[in-house]
Copies of this chain bind each other. A is one copy, B any other.
């Protein structure tokens, strides 16, 4: 059985890391790495037109973040798999990476051997990530403390049905001022700035 070559592109601003990774990958049987970009903009300009299977994407890029770049590239070429490479493993980065379509999330201290294994896993439909990172991901699913009160949840659901201050106030026998205050508190608790974002976040977190 002949083994297929996996074509890889790298987006990484640190010259040394980028070159090292390129050499390691390109020098390994079954792997080819002919494309490396120092920033998101150049990757955006090229990747869609290249025969690439897997992209290794640094998160901390100058200019557009690796997450933003991944979001845009994934729209252009959804068949390409993205593995995020990063030093930081904070929940927001992980969560956002997966939301924009990344298939894996690895820390930069991953050994070269493991890296190749993980690239292969992604290529074959898996989702490589350390056990620790998997744990963080699954905790993001869980609403430990639903930050919203019952009243707030009730009102947010009404907003999602298209109701405005007045509608809600009338249905709940409240002053529109009160409704407005509740909504402002909802925004504050969800860290959003308007209805659209609030509804989106609330649904994604299964609050409504």
Q: Which residues of A contact B (CB under 8 A)?
A: 75, 78, 95, 98-103, 121, 125-129, 131-132, 134-135, 137-138, 141-144, 154, 159-162, 164, 192-200, 203-204, 206
In the complex, chain B residues whose CB is within 8 Å of the CB of A164: 194
- Does the CB pair A134–B144 fall under 8 Å? no
In the complex, chain B residues whose CB is within 8 Å of the CB of A162: 192-194, 196-197, 200
Query: Taking CB as reference atom, which chain B residue is nearest A126?
Result: B131
6 extra interface residue pairs, beta carbon distance < 8 Å, beyond A78-B144, A195-B196 = A99-B206, A103-B135, A103-B138, A137-B137, A160-B199, A199-B200
- Does the CB pair B127–A128 fall under 8 Å? no
- Does the CB pair B142–A98 fall under 8 Å? yes
In the complex, chain B residues whose CB is within 8 Å of the CB of A197: 160-162
Question: Measured between C-beta atoms, what is the minimum distance from A44 to chain B in Å?
Answer: 13
> How far is A194 from B131 in the complex, measured between Cα atoms in Å?
37
- Top 5 A-B pairs ranked by shortest CB distance? A126-B131, A162-B197, A160-B200, A127-B134, A127-B135
Among A121, A127, A137, the most chain B Cβ lie within 10 Å of the Cβ of: A127
Instruction: Name A142's contact: one of B100, B137, B159 (CB within 8 Å).
Output: B100
> How far is A161 from B194 in the complex, measured between Cα atoms in Å?
9
> How far is A131 from B101 in the complex, measured between Cα atoms in Å?
16
